[in-house]
Each structure stands twice: as structure tokens, then as C-alpha cells.
Amino acid sequence: MQDHIVKIFDTTLRDGEQSPGAALTSSEKLEIAKMLARLGVDVIEAGFPAASPDDLEGVRRIALEVGNSNPDGRTPPVICGLARANKADIDAAWKAVQHAAHPRIHTFLATSPIHMEFKLKMDPEDVVEQVREMVSYAKTYCDDVEFSPEDAGRSDPQFLHLVLGEAIKAGATTINIPDTVGYTTPEEFGALISGIIANTPGIENVQVSVHCHDDLGLATANTLAGIQAGARQAEVTINGIGERAGNTSLEEIVMALRTRRQFYDLETNIDTTKITRASRMVSNYTGIQVQPNKAIVGANAFAHEAGIHQDGMLKHQDTYEIMQPDMIGLSHSKLVLGKHSGRHAFKSHLIEMGYELDQEELDKAFKRFKELADRKKSITEVDLEALISDQISQPIEIYSLDGLQVSSGTMGLPTATVRMIGPDDKMHVQAAIGTGPVDATFSAIDAVINAPNTLLEYSVNAITEGIDAIGEVSVRLEADNGSIPKRKSPQHSNFFQTRTFGGHGVDTDIIVASAKAYLSALNKLLIASGKYDHLKKKPKKSIPASTVHEPVNP
Amino acid sequence: MQDHIVKIFDTTLRDGEQSPGAALTSSEKLEIAKMLARLGVDVIEAGFPAASPDDLEGVRRIALEVGNSNPDGRTPPVICGLARANKADIDAAWKAVQHAAHPRIHTFLATSPIHMEFKLKMDPEDVVEQVREMVSYAKTYCDDVEFSPEDAGRSDPQFLHLVLGEAIKAGATTINIPDTVGYTTPEEFGALISGIIANTPGIENVQVSVHCHDDLGLATANTLAGIQAGARQAEVTINGIGERAGNTSLEEIVMALRTRRQFYDLETNIDTTKITRASRMVSNYTGIQVQPNKAIVGANAFAHEAGIHQDGMLKHQDTYEIMQPDMIGLSHSKLVLGKHSGRHAFKSHLIEMGYELDQEELDKAFKRFKELADRKKSITEVDLEALISDQISQPIEIYSLDGLQVSSGTMGLPTATVRMIGPDDKMHVQAAIGTGPVDATFSAIDAVINAPNTLLEYSVNAITEGIDAIGEVSVRLEADNGSIPKRKSPQHSNFFQTRTFGGHGVDTDIIVASAKAYLSALNKLLIASGKYDHLKKKPKKSIPASTVHEPVNP
């Protein structure tokens, strides 16, 4: 074990994806996993395979496609699946991760008095016994087994030493200590880790890991305190997403260790110059925006220069800067392509940006790029990112948008007319009014697609480079009836997560982008209802808007 | 001095307002200051009076109107003005704060080798001498003087002890230690404060304060480490806004001390139930959104419950909750008023929400409420907040929007027609096309108002309760020519901040909201140009849209 390396265990796709509204499609998960591999993450926790068959399939694809090679020629990352401490979950996890070159099963059981009494309804002795049995069971599949005592931050330290000792005896190779509810202070959490290292039999032969939550704003400090106490794996997410106030941010831990290397004397395997791109991808796909004043990856994190004119006086660079923007791969978005750029230039730019599309996807993307270039003179890297991430995040189209016409303003009633092609391959046209153009558009779509739902969130990504830029809209909704199969939540046995459906749309016209986003969420809802499984294999041909100009009656 | 109380020094209006794009109008500053007083903040740093005459006037109004009484009958907060260590700045600060019952002058000078050499170009001896002179000078005006050694985190501790000892001898009553560039770790920052308390002559007679930045995600932990080392004042901002990655968050410090009272054994004077409201107000006025996974005040911070269905099983409340939502005043936005609600119900609701409007403002707000109620069946607290904060943030209207008509969609060229009343009291009508409806609208407005500018940001507040809700749009722009008077930056002598202008608009139609936001930013730009000073005293009468229906040629 290299003692000066802190391994980065990324759980964006598992704990991060549990954030309300972050639900990702399996293509989005795969793209994020590829990006995490390029970033140099040591372990990717790819999901909770027992949650649903879709979740299992998502983890399996990542194990196969990301867990066996790394584009940079490095060792491929470990692919990890989460499992509660029961056989069914462990079976599902193994089924999903076994195809990776380096698979890991991560199992957990709560050890705090409050969780054992009210959630598990188990005696401490039974908890010890179940940990012993289930770690051994996981070990029959896989050499690499991680065990976490859930809510360790509120557990009795002596009981923890006992449970963890048994887990190690049963074969656990990584022991992960979560502060599940984000309750501890750095002193407490550091002391907890020191105590575990000093008092747990066999701990010297395993990896010690820390997993913190940010409920009191202390996740980064707690994780660093755990590392100072001897932990050499940190469980983190991109942008710090996760349930409630989220998990520890990958970028904060990596850059704190990097910027303050003289203090911590530790390193990670992360290629920091890919941090900005990873942050943008996760924010685009999850629809969870990063606030401007977020450390490292916020839009203003390096921006104070912008407001200061130097008025001729040379300024020493380090006066107000402790990091240089290019360390995290931040470059000002610049004109990269124009109307006359050819397919070759387009393709090489995408490769440079880290997107490897197959021929069909590339053709589709190039066509959309040309349409955009007709409307907007200069296409920046941000525009390209929006375009590609939108394409990747689209589900199979049960209904597709064929035309939209909207009028609004202060003088009349906002009115929208939509024309859509349905699963019957027929055109459907409906008009509706609303309190605004987006409301009218959604009502018109609802008049065609009868899928009762509650809109939970509608958001427009901030535009920071001219109002003619591409607009990105995210929506999140929940089906109103009980027809959607539920998904299990790892922490809440006997509870289920309501399925929410996110949609994403881009266009220079934000009303059109809104329609696309809403339709994309509705298509996901329709697919999840199971009523359109026969369409899943057959990608719908969409009729290009430019070829259909005759009005069609509903 | 009460040793178990940590005083909360809020610098949202000074360091927070230095964030790119956070520029606030003086009415917005006053409203925020009133909210801070209700929140129970001990000290309000109201601004940097030497920045510009407008800044001085803003601080003066707060000193007068907020610094002399507190609606809850408590002692009014200390009103503080920032000043570099020179006579002109200290004069300006005193001019602004002298009207408060408890005024404070806060002066600072850099003490780190890098700042002394490259920014100040001063020898350490001269720095000591200037601190001594300028603290004494401030003391001739005001008993309450705070001194900060800028970039203390990177200063030589022994030199700090010397400088601070001299500042205390010269009369400083508060010594504030800033980690200006957010570089320190909690251990380092705690040790710095302990060292200062152990080695600075006279320190036992003054208040020790800490001021941290979040560049590495450690601001909260560093501030708590400083408090544990003996500091009893924390400098913070609402939502952690501020330059780069921002300042320490007020809500995180207050709630960490509150939730972990048994660990820290300290209290603040903050009424935590007003935190949510203060957070929303600051986010609305500055246009700086709070990410969903922000600790305490993020939309998801208490939201994990939402995704979990209890399926009949009773769950122990504390299993996953360390704070209750009502501790921070978070209540789900509910129907509060409808179409038939009268003026009395409207007024009492506003008072309950903390808004005290005068008769004229109330009439205006009630009219807008009635217009909204015609379009939207149920008006929630969030709608009312949007409406009122929009009204408060509007500048004097040089140009006012009289009508807007927009058509867009996938089938044609997005086109907008605007009708505006100008400073000449004449109607101006222009039509324009664009890449989308917002671009077209802004182009049409530009065709009427000739004020070359660069749009820096366009953002739409996320809607979380049905798409018929009110939409809030923020824009930020910068004048293209050099005609706008600049504003001094406290940290960068010889540099100036470019003035950026923020605009805010609300409407159920997001295109109309966008037009209002853009126009509001442009009106601020026109006012700042100084060409319309003669209109400042005369509030423009706007002709209600419903009475003007004849088309007017430009």
C-alpha cells in the first residue's frame, strides 16, 4: 500500500444519484463513468444494483465498458456495487460488477443505537453476526469487499471496533467509516478514525476509508481530518451532490491536498485538469446546478479578476490567487467552430473535449451542429457541450416533437400549438393557453399525451455568454398515479423511493428547449410505465421539422 | 464580555456585495439590513463608504434607519463601515456610520510579505507606523474601532503580534483575523488564533474576531477552529456569498454551534427561525442562486424525506435528521391568498412575512397582487416574496415597458415587438428578430434604448411548484463604453471595479419577466451614466397597459 496516496472513491453515480431529482439514464451514467475513469478516480461506485433491474443493468454496462480498459493506458478503475447486508442484494451486486477487471462489493449495516433500535430492530449481537455472515458471503464471490458501519458517527466506538474487527476477520479489505447524517465535527471525526485504527484487530492489513456528509458544512474538513488520522480512501462526489446537503466534494478534497501538499504531504491519482469538465457534465446530466460561490468549480471561484481593472499597474499573480485556473482545466469558453466548419474539424474537437461518439451518433450531432450554426455565428465549447450532453441524455422517443408555435407577451393570452408524432406514427396537434408561454406549451403537450404528473422543478441553466447562446432547460416530474414501478432505497429498508423523471432540452429558443425537456421527461415516464416495451428496441425515426410544413388536424 | 456568546458580524452588504454580479441598489441594501436586524445579527458591515458617493449614502441610510431601533425591542445592531488605513477612507466611513446608535469604523492594512512587497510596496516598519496612526485617527471619531491585518493567514505570526499589539495600544477594540485568500487548514488557523491570543499585548481587553474564505471548502471549519481557539466574533455572509468561492456562511456557523451545542458550549444571538427568509431575500436581490445541496439553506437540505414513502411503517424522526426544518423557519410554501383576498388580508400577510411597506408601496403591491390573482388561482408565499422583492429592487424608470408581443417556436423566426415610454414621455415601438424569443426581445429593447452593453449573465430562478407559478429572471450586464463612473475596490488600491448592473423581473410569462429584468438593468446603467439626474426626483408615471391599445409608430 502506498501510504502517501489517498485513493479517490467516487460515489456520484450511487450516493450522488440519490439526490432528489438527480435520477440519471443509463447512457448518462455510462458517460459519467467514462469521464470519471479519465479523471483518474481509483474506485467508481456505479450504483445500487438491487434497487431495480434498470439499476443493475446500468452498473453491469459500466463494469463491462469502463471497468476493463482505460483510455489513458492506466489500470482501469475498480467498479463497485452497493449491497445491503443480505444475500439478495449481494447477489445482485455481484451479477452487476463481475464483468469488471477489478470488481468490488460494498456492503453495509447500521451500528448506531438509534438505527439498530428503530430502523433495523436488531440487537447489537445480531448485527455483529449478520456482518460476519454477509461479509463472508460477499467474499465467496469477490476478493475485494468493502464494509461500512452505517451512521458510524453516532455509534459507540467500542462496539465499532468489535464489528469492524469481525468484518476484517470475515474478509473485508476496505473498512469505510461514514458520518451518515453529517453530524460530527472535525475533531470528533478525526478521533473516531484514530480510535478505530488504534483499536480494531487486523486494521493494519486493510484500507481505511472515510465518507462524510455536509449537513453542517463540515464534510471537507471532516474528510481531511479522517485522512490526517490515517484513512487512505476518501468517498466523494463531483460537485458534492448527494442526499440532503450532499457528500464531500471530490474537487475540494483533491485541490486541498494538492494546494496544501506541504501541509498534508499526500497525493491523489487525479488529473486535476479534467475537474472542470467533469463538474460541467455532472451538472448538465443531473440538472443540479453549482452555485457561483462553490469552492473550486463555482463560476466565480476564479472570477474576482474579472471585476478588477489593472489600470496599468502590474500585479503579482499570487497576491489573491492560491490556485491557477488552468490547474482545474478552466479556460474561457472561446469560439471553436463556425458555420463553415467541416465534419473532420467537428469530430476532432469532440475528441479533444473527451467525447467519443460512434458513427451514427456523430452524424446526428453534426446535423444538429449545422442547424445551430445557421442560427448562431460562433459556436463555443459550452454550446458543443450542451448539444452533446443533450443528445446523450435523450430517451427513446415514444412521442416526438414535430413543431411548436407560441405567442405571448403583455397584450394577450399566452398561446401554444404543438404538433407531435405519437407511438401510432400519427401526427397529433393541440393548442392551449396558459399563464405564460411555458405553461401554455406544457398544457398543449398534456392535451396530446395523457400522462398525469406533478411538475416538481423547472430550471433554466444560467447563460453567461450572450443571450443568443443555446438555452438549456431541465424539468423534473413525478407520475400522479401508482402505475410506475418503484425503486428500492438502500438506506431505508421497507421504504421505496418515488421515481422522479428528469428531462433536459436545449435550443436557442428557451420555449422550444422547455418543450423538449418536458417531452423528454414524459417519454421516460411512459417508458417506465412498461406499456411501451415493444418500442424499446426500435429507435423512432423523427421526421425533420423542415420537411413537414402542412398543417395537420388533430 | 459574555464569553459563551459568539457575536455574529454580517458582511453580506460589504464582502458579499463584492461578488461579481451581486451589486445591490440602496433600497435592496436597506431591506437586507432590516432583515439582518430582525435575524439578530450583532454587527452589520453595511458597506465600503469610500467606494463611491452612492456607497456612502447607502451606508448612511442603514445607519439612520436600521442603526437606531430594532423592531423586536432588542438593542439595535452595531453599524460598521469599512475603510482602508488612510484618512480619506476613515473620514468617509465616519460620515456614513455616525448616525447609528452604535457606530463602528473597521480599518485594515495588509501584513503578509507578499502583500506588503507587491501591493503596498511598504516596509514592515512603515506598515506598523501606518496602523498606529490610522487606528488613532479612527479613534478620534469613534470609540468602537476594528482593525484587520489583511492576509493574516499568510503573515508572519510574530509580526502579527507586534502589529496587533500596536493597534490595540492605539485604541482598537476588536481585532479581526482574516484568511483573505482561503488558504489555511483548520489546524493552522486555530493555531494562528491561539498564538495571537497568547502573545499579543493587551489582547485580553479586546474582542477577537475571525474572517474566513471558502477557496478550499474550509471556511466553516476554519471559523469554528478560530472560535474554539478563543475568538468570540465571526465574520460571515448570508448564503456564504463573497468574492471567488465566498465567505463563511452565517447559517452554517450558527447552526453548527446550535446543533452541536454540547460540543462547542457556545451560543449566538441569532433567531434561527428567520434564516430561511434571510437566505431567500439575499438570493433574490443579488441574483446569486443557492445550490440545492447547500448546507442548511439548499432546497434539498431537508428534502430527503420527500423521496421516501413510509409505506405504513413509523419511522423514528432522528434516524436521518439532525435538525428540524422549523428550526430555520422552513415551511412548505402554501396557498396563502386568492383572487378574492382583500387589502387587509394582503397587508397582514406581508407584515407576518416581515415586509413593512408604506401606503404608496402597499397600494402598488396590492395592484400587482390583484393582476397576478387574475392569472393564477392560488398565490403562495413564494409568489408574494417574488412580487415584493421585485418591486423593492426596481430602479427609477427612465424607460418603462408598456407592451410586449412575442412569437416563436420551431417553425419560424422568433420575433418580438416592444412598446416603451421614454424619458421624453413619448411612445417608442420597435420590432426585432433573434435566435430565440429572449434574444429577439432584448434586440428590440436595444433598438429603442441606445446603451451599448455586454450581457454577462441571464438566469431564471428555478420553479418548484407548478409551471403556472411566477417566473423570476435576473440579468447582469456591463456598459461597453467608459462613461460609467467607476467604484473603488477596498482590497485593490489603484484598481477599480467595473460597474456591473443587475436587473430583476417577475411575471408568469418568462419572456415578459426577461424584458422587465433587462430593462431594469438598463435603467440602472442609464442612471449611473449621470445623464438622467434631472429625472431622479420625479417618479415616472407608467401608463397601465390596458388603457393603451392603439398601435404607435416609432
One-letter identity of residue A354: G
Residue among A114, A244, A488 with most chain B CBs within 10 A, to mutate: A244
Identify which of B245, B298, B321 has the shortest CB distance to residue A245: B298
Predicted pLDDT at B481: 67
Q: Please write the tens of the pLDDT for every residue from B203-250.
A: 999 999 999 999 999 999 999 999 999 999 999 999 999 988 999 999
Q: Rg of chain B over CA atoms, in angstroms?
A: 25
Identify which of B216, B321, B468 has the shortest CB distance to residue A256: B216
Residue B245 and residue A293: Cβ atoms within 8 Å? Answer: yes
Contact between B504 and B472 under an 8 Å Cβ cutoff? The reply is yes
Cα(B281)–Cα(A410) distance, rounded to whole angstroms?
27
Q: Please write the tens of the pLDDT for every residue from B460-499.
A: 877 766 777 778 888 888 887 665 666 677 765 544 556 6
DSSP code of residue A305: G
Contact between A450 and A483 under an 8 Å Cβ cutoff? The reply is no
Residue B49 CB burial class (10 angstroms; 0-12, 13-18, ≥19): buried
Give residue B552's pLDDT band: very low, low, confident or very high (50, 70, 90): very low
Farthest-apart Cα atoms in chain A, separation: 78
Residues of A in contact with B442 (CB under 8 A): 467
ipTM of this model? 0.84
CA–CA distance from A272 to each of A348, B325, B489 (Å)? Answer: 22, 37, 32
Q: Over chain B, what is the mean pLDDT? A: 86
Residue A240 and residue B495: Cβ atoms within 8 Å? Answer: no
CA–CA distance from A69 to each of A40, A45, A74, A98, A271 (Å)? Answer: 12, 17, 8, 15, 17
Strand A7-10 versus strand A43-47 pairing type: parallel
B197 half-sphere exposure, CB direction, 13 A CA radius? 18
Give me the tens of pLDDT residue by residue for chain A, a chain 554 residues long: 458 999 999 999 999 988 876 778 788 899 899 999 999 999 999 999 998 888 999 999 999 999 998 877 789 999 999 999 999 999 999 999 999 999 999 999 999 998 898 888 899 999 999 999 999 999 999 999 999 999 998 899 999 999 999 999 999 999 999 998 899 999 999 999 999 999 999 999 999 999 999 999 999 999 999 999 999 999 999 999 998 899 999 999 999 999 999 999 999 999 999 999 899 889 888 878 899 899 999 888 876 443 333 332 345 556 666 788 888 887 654 556 777 888 888 888 787 776 777 888 888 888 888 888 877 777 777 778 778 877 776 777 899 999 999 999 988 789 999 999 999 999 999 999 998 999 999 999 999 998 888 888 888 877 766 777 778 888 888 887 665 666 677 765 544 556 677 788 888 899 999 999 999 889 888 887 878 877 654 444 443 333 333 333 43
Residue A497 and residue B307: Cβ atoms within 8 Å? Answer: yes
Give residue B533's pLDDT band: very low, low, confident or very high (50, 70, 90): confident
Nearest partner of A307 among B486, B216, B246, judged by Cα: B486
How many interchain CB pairs under 8 A, A with B?
397
Identify which of B241, B263, B309 has the shortest CB distance to residue A293: B241
Cα(B82)–Cα(A158) distance, rounded to whole angstroms?
52
Cα(B471)–Cα(A496) distance, rounded to whole angstroms?
33
Identify which of B180, B439, B466 has the shortest CB distance to residue A455: B466
Predicted pLDDT at B124: 96
Residue B289 and residue A291: Cβ atoms within 8 Å? Answer: yes
Contact between A201 and A175 under an 8 Å Cβ cutoff? The reply is no
Contact between A138 and A101 under an 8 Å Cβ cutoff? The reply is no
Predicted pLDDT at B325: 81
Q: How far is A141 from chain B (nearest CA, A)?
A: 31
Here the cell at position B250 is: 452565517
Strand partners, A267: A5
Cα(B141)–Cα(B110) distance, rounded to whole angstroms?
23
Residue among B18, B302, B377, B410 with most chain A CBs within 10 A, to mutate: B410
Q: Give the SS3 label for residue A536.
A: coil
Three-state helix/strand/coil letters over A323-364: CCHHHHCCCCCCEEEECCCCHHHHHHHHHHCCCCCCHHHHHH
Q: How far is A73 from chain B (nearest CA, A)?
A: 31
Identify which of B220, B302, B403 has the shortest CB distance to residue A244: B302
Contact between A404 and B410 under an 8 Å Cβ cutoff? The reply is yes
Q: Any idea which of A549-553, B29-33, B301-305, B530-534 has the lowest mean pLDDT?
A: A549-553
Which residue spans within B400-547 are E strands per DSSP?
Answer: 400-409, 415-421, 427-433, 453-463, 471-479, 487-488, 496-497, 500-507
Residue B351 CB burial class (10 angstroms; 0-12, 13-18, ≥19): exposed
Q: In what order do the strands lie in the sheet with B415-421?
A: A427-433, A415-421, A400-409, B400-409, B415-421, B427-433
Residue A392 CB burial class (10 angstroms; 0-12, 13-18, ≥19): buried
Three-state helix/strand/coil letters over B322-350: CCCHHHHCCCCCCEEEECCCCHHHHHHHH
Q: Please write the tens of the pLDDT for every residue from B381-424.
A: 777 877 887 777 677 789 999 999 999 998 878 999 999 999 99
Q: In what order do the strands lie in the sheet with A308-309?
A: A308-309, B496-497, B487-488
Residues of B in contact with A306 (CB under 8 A): 20, 498
Predicted pLDDT at B309: 33
Per-residue buried b or exposed e for B105-127, using 16+ beta carbons within 10 Å of the residue's own CB: bbbbbbbbebbbebbbebebeeb
Residue A406 and residue B411: Cβ atoms within 8 Å? Answer: no
What's the pTM value of the predicted model, to 2 decimals?
0.85
**Dihedral angle at the C-alpha atoms of B369, B372, B374, B377, nearest 10 degrees?**
-100
Predicted pLDDT at B334: 54
Residues of B in contact with A20 (CB under 8 A): 292, 300, 303-304, 306-307
What is the DSSP code string of A41-98?
A: -SEEEEE-GGG-HHHHHHHHHHHHHTSS--TTSSPPPEEEEEEESSHHHHHHHHHHHT
Residue A132 CB burial class (10 angstroms; 0-12, 13-18, ≥19): middle
Residues in chain A: 554
What is the DSSP code string of A189-226?
A: HHHHHHHHHHHSTTGGGSEEEEEEB-TTS-HHHHHHHH
Q: Please write the tens of the pLDDT for every residue from B332-391.
A: 545 567 778 888 888 887 877 767 778 888 888 888 888 888 777 777 777 787 788 777
Identify which of B221, B464, B512 has the shortest CB distance to residue A186: B221
Give every CB contact of residue A164 below 8 A, 6+ residues apart in sequence: A147, A149, A175, A196, A200, A203
- List helix spans (H) across B419-543: 437-448, 510-528
Cα(A182)–Cα(B101) distance, rounded to whole angstroms?
41
Residue among A410, A413, A453, A500 with most chain B CBs within 10 A, to mutate: A410
- List helix spans (H) across B327-454: 343-353, 359-375, 381-393, 437-448
